Amino acid sequence: MKRTQSNNRLIQWIDERLPVFSYADHNVLAYPTPKNLNYWWNYGSIAGIVLVIMIVTGIFLAMNYQPHTDVAFASVERIVRDVNYGWLLRYLHMNGASMFFIVVYIHMFRGIYFGSYKAPREILWMVGVTIYVVMMATAFMGYVLPWGQMSFWGATVITNLFSAIPIIGDYIVTWVWGGFSVDVPTINRFFVWHYLLPAIILGLVIVHLWALHVHKSSNPLGIDIKTPQDMMPFHPYYTIKDLYGLGLFMIFFMYFVFFQPNFFGEADNYIPANPMVTPPHIVPEWYFLPFYAILRAIPDKLGGVVVMFAGVLILYVLPWLDTSKVRSATFRPIYKQLFWLFVANCLFLGWLGGKPTEGVYVIMTRLATGYYFAFFLVLMPLVGRLEKTKPLPNSIYEEVAKKCRAKED
């Protein structure tokens, strides 16, 4: 029985025994996709490509890296200076981490704007949040590996947060460190986790796509697919659109790799770690700054830690906090404004996270933290119930046809 669209006899022979080609036909080539996806739907596939780049460059870096406090810093310098194309591997990996977060943040904000987390895609969203949490852990441990000043002090400050937990806090910190300070066992275990977690992310991405393929992609109108006319095959329409987006993204990515490789980094991390000298400002990588700001907004250590983790974990319950029956913000005039204010507020929190905790910065950080939580806990549930939404279109197909006619006129 012929399962694939291909007439090639070898492909058919393999497919009868291991249906990889018919699987690809079904899930990639002929995969039914809404007709109206815009460029905000490119970021999922771009994230997938960045993940692959991170894993491949990471494997080659690991062939030359030494996870020991005596030589870790020097081994990274050796990679950059002496290993063939080591500079390229390191700059791809280093900037790739920032790119990964940029792409995933856009992907998440897209989800929040278009209500992609709403039924029946709650589990898809929650798997996404788990990917994000594991990404943060991976990035945190990766940053410790070059063993510069920021690596050491960042690791010391952040792991110390666990000591705020009553009774068992100090035990947890010693357990995480593998000793009584950030030292040889710490860097060694962080290297192990940093190598292992991306494989877990890859597994989670497979589950993410599995969940996506059950109900298929949502779309900018947020209305359900009703007839086959609303859809078109993924290939060639979205393969080409994704490739175009990927090309633009790669230009952006490569600009940093080749022209500004240290743009996202901290100069202090080019000083070897020194437990006897504390840098004047200990700042995490930019992608953690909003949460670092939230941590410092609360005057109490334990309170700060709890609120900071709550800031991430609240994303899990988003599908239930948003009470609106309408998915897309396109038809929600009030929510749309609040959403953009939320985006600006996140950027503002990020900026504040890099500022010292003094004077007016403290007040601004508290206000921004207040809006962050109010958006999820107060505004989303209330606006969802009270807002008067705009009328929804009848079908995706009608909207697409209307746009095409408008272009022709």
Is 213 noted as a catalytic residue in this protein?
yes
User: Cα separation of 301 and 107, whole Å?
Assistant: 32
User: Cα separation of 249 and 107, whole Å?
Assistant: 14
Q: Which of 151, 217, 324, 328 is catalytic?
A: 217
Q: Which of 25, 230, 242, 266 is catalytic?
A: 242
**Residue bearing tokens 């991405």:** 205
Q: Which is nearer to ligand HEM, 184 or 212 (CB)?
A: 212
Give the amino acid at 113: Y
Nearest of 66, 91, 393 to residue 259 by alpha carbon: 91
- What is 114-127 written as a DSSP string? HTTTSTT-HHHHHH
Is 241 noted as a catalytic residue in this protein?
yes
Show Cβ contacts of residue 365 under 8 Å, excluding neighbours closer than 6 positions.
Answer: 293, 294, 296, 297, 349, 352, 357
Q: Which of 93, 118, 194, 241 is catalytic?
A: 241
Task: Please enumerate, as own/partner, the contacts of 292-300 that have beta carbons within 8 Å and a separation of 24 or more.
Answer: 292/353, 293/349, 293/350, 293/352, 293/353, 293/365, 293/368, 293/369, 294/349, 294/365, 294/369, 294/372, 295/161, 296/353, 296/357, 296/365, 297/362, 297/365, 297/366, 297/368, 297/369, 298/369
User: Cα separation of 183 and 188, whole Å?
Assistant: 9
Name the token pair of 210: 């599995």
Phi, psi (deg, nearest 5) at residue 44: -60, -50
Q: Which is nearer to ligand HEM, 51 or 176 (CB)?
A: 51
Q: Which is nearer to ligand HEM, 157 or 207 (CB)?
A: 207
Preceding amide of 319 cis, omega within 30: no
Q: Is the dihedral of CA 161, 164, 170, 172 positive or negative?
A: negative
Least distance (Å) between residue 336 CB and ligand HEM: 17
Least distance (Å) between residue 408 CB and ligand HEM: 29
Least distance (Å) between residue 93 CB and ligand HEM: 15
Least distance (Å) between residue 125 CB and ligand HEM: 4
Helix axes 122-144, 86-114, angle to 10 degrees: 150
Least distance (Å) between residue 245 CB and ligand HEM: 10
Least distance (Å) between residue 26 CB and ligand HEM: 16
Q: Which is nearer to ligand HEM, 14 or 205 (CB)?
A: 205
Is 403 noted as a catalytic residue in this protein?
no
Q: Which is nearer to ligand HEM, 104 or 383 (CB)?
A: 104
**Residues at the contact surface with ligand HEM, assessed by CB under 6 A:** 41, 43-45, 47-48, 51, 104, 107-108, 111, 114, 116-117, 121, 124-125, 128-129, 131-132, 201, 205, 208, 212, 217-218, 315
Q: Which is nearer to ligand HEM, 129 or 396 (CB)?
A: 129
User: Cα separation of 322 and 320, whole Å?
Assistant: 5
Q: Which is nearer to ligand HEM, 65 or 125 (CB)?
A: 125
Least distance (Å) between residue 300 CB and ligand HEM: 29
**238, 33 Cβ separation under 8 angstroms:** yes
Active-site annotation, residues: 213, 217, 241-242, 285
